[in-house]
Chain A
Amino acid sequence: MTKILIVDDNLDNQEILSRRLQLAGNFQIAVASNGKQALEIAAVIKPDLILMDLRMPVMDGYEATRALKQTEWGKNIPVVAITAYASREHMHKALNAGCCDFIAKPILDYALMGRKIRALLGMEEPQRAPHHFQAA
């Protein structure tokens, strides 16, 4: 099963994301509360995708992403920054650290988030072709 690791120091956010992801696909979900914990868990479960908060105690998301990208086992795991930082500067900093996408919290469009995640996992879009594409 596809494994997703959610990293967020806010337990409420962990829960919101887990519940949403369970709907976006058939995922196995793990959670971590800071960057250090995330690296430890990721080393064991080797997730297919990481959703990474940026500002966290102990080790922040930038540092964790940079460290992950240094490892042989982790360098190809896509990391999506999900953060309450909303500025371009933070977005660039996240991308420079090795994140492949950036989603600002609060997330207002979960459908879009689901599509991004499925695309990163190389999963197909769910069968929901627009009417005019449907075969007559």
Chain B
Amino acid sequence: MEERANIMVVDDEVGPRESLKLILKPYYNVITVEKPTDAIAMLDHVPVDLVTLDLKMPGLSGTKVLEKIKQHDPDIEAIIITGYGSMDTAIEGLRLGAFDYISKPFDVNHILTLIRRALQRRQAKMELKNVKSEFLANISHELRTPLSVVIGFVSILLDQLLGQLSEQQQKILERVYKNSGELLELVDNVLLLSSLNAGDLTLLNEAFDARVMLDECVKRYENLVRDKKITVNIEAPEKLPTMGDRAKSARITQNLLHNAIKFTPDGGNITLKLRESPEQGMVELDIIDTGLGMPEQQIERLFQPFQQMDSSIRRQFSGLGLGLTVARRLTEFLGGSLQIKSRRDVGTHVRFTIPQEPAPQNVVARHTV
């Protein structure tokens, strides 16, 4: 048996609201709402597949409500009900993503047909979304599996579980290990970017310690830092309890730190400053390197995927420049911001700020990025 779809009827007039409810009740679960503002608030608490909207309502105008609903979840279908044959508002509604419109007084069969078709479209969209996210999960699994075999066996050799290695063997295997690690990060970043593009990421809200997270990220690159004789200074409180998405915050930190290490010459310095931001409820991380730096106009370009400064530098430093794009997109996803200040040959200062506790509507809402 198919599950009944949930329909929200938004109309400030009690007559049409209740009659529509009577029409739909035999086939669907119906919630009626009088005030548009209540409709938006309710989306956080009840699952809604389709909304019928009277566009001529006091307070928030009908089109504003539609805009808000689509912001909340672009896959919620909407049918506009116009009380006064105004084509303009109907067209505006369609432009904002409504499925169709119908004029009052409407024919019962007509509205039932419209609703059925709108729900079919939603169903198809949801199925496509599932296929997409399943595909991404499978690709991720398939790419990580052989990589885990490479990393697993190399680490067995490196830890000398199968006998002692010569110095040269040890050095070569360390390079294999390091490059496998780079490939793993690349795979993770490409997949993350695809998930962001597919609108297939969920925001988590969990308690974690931002200091511990930072230390773990630094530990991940300890070999790289040692090889390049880079000094990493950490200025951070002993503990920084935070609410938010730990894994995504860690990914942003790793990408920024990895970039800083990559562009800092041997023997340079990287300073990490973690603190509660003066802006209330924000956590702020400064990543200051003594790397190449870059001119102002290059910074915006750097946010584009696959861009590094110019071809000469691209030859000097490997990589797709993907890390920064993913960092920026993820920061936006978390409701934070990323600022970059840089001076050629002096270094780069990246400030990454995320809310310490995301606003509740961000947690429930499904984002399309």
**Are chains A and B native binding partners rather than an unrelated pairing?**
yes
Q: Which residues of A contact B (CB under 8 A)?
A: 10, 12-13, 16-17, 19-20, 23, 55, 83-90, 105-108, 110
Q: Is the CB of B141 within 8 A of A84?
A: yes
Which chain A residue lies CB-closest to B195? A87
Residues of A within 8 A of B147 (CB): 106
Interface of B is mostly: helix
Q: Can you list 23 A-B pairs, Cβ within 8 angstroms, ordered by A?
A: A10-B149, A12-B152, A13-B149, A16-B149, A16-B152, A16-B153, A16-B156, A17-B152, A20-B161, A55-B141, A84-B144, A84-B148, A86-B188, A88-B247, A89-B202, A105-B144, A105-B148, A105-B152, A106-B148, A106-B180, A107-B151, A107-B152, A108-B220
Given contacts A19-B161, A89-B202, A90-B137, contact A84 B145 (CB under 8 A): yes
Report Cα–Cα, A20/B151, bound state, in Å. 13
Contact of A106 among B137, B144, B156, B202 (CB under 8 A): B144
Task: Please name all residues of chain A whose beta carbon is closer than 8 Å to the beta carbon of B159 when the two chains form the complex.
Answer: 110
B151 touches A108 (CB 8 A): yes
Could you tell me the distance in whole angstroms from the C-beta of B349 to the nearest C-beta in chain A?
29
Instruction: Verify B145–A10 contact, CB threshold 8 A.
Output: yes
CB closest chain-B residue, reference A16 = B152
Give the shortest distance, in Å, between A105 (CB) and chain B (any CB): 4
> Smallest CB–CB gap between A47 and chain B, Å?
21
CB-CB < 8 A to A88: which residues of B?
202, 204, 247
Question: What's the Cα separation between A79 and B348 when bound, in Å?
Answer: 46
A19-B156, A88-B247 as given contacts; A12 in contact with B149, CB under 8 Å: yes
Q: Is B368 an interface residue (CB 8 A)?
A: no
| A86/B152 contact (C-beta < 8 A), A23-B161, A106-B184 known | no
Q: Mark interface residues in B167-181 (1 if CB within 8 Å of A CB, else 0).
A: 000000000000011
For the complex formed, measure the closest distance between the CB of B251 and the CB atoms of chain A, giving whole angstroms: 11
Shortest B141–chain A CB gap in Å is 5
Q: Give every chain B residue within 8 A of A12 (Cβ-Cβ).
A: 149, 152-153
Q: How far is the CB of A52 from chain B (nearest CB, A)?
A: 15
**How far apart sit A113 and B140, CA to CA, in the bound complex (Å)?**
22
Report the minimum CB–CB distance from A126 to chain B (whole Å): 16
Q: CB of B194 within 8 A of chain A? A: no
Apart from A13-B148, A16-B152, list 6 A-B contacts with CB within 8 A. A12-B149, A16-B149, A16-B153, A19-B161, A84-B140, A90-B137
The A-contacting residues of B in range 183-223, CB under 8 angstroms, are 184, 188, 202, 204, 220
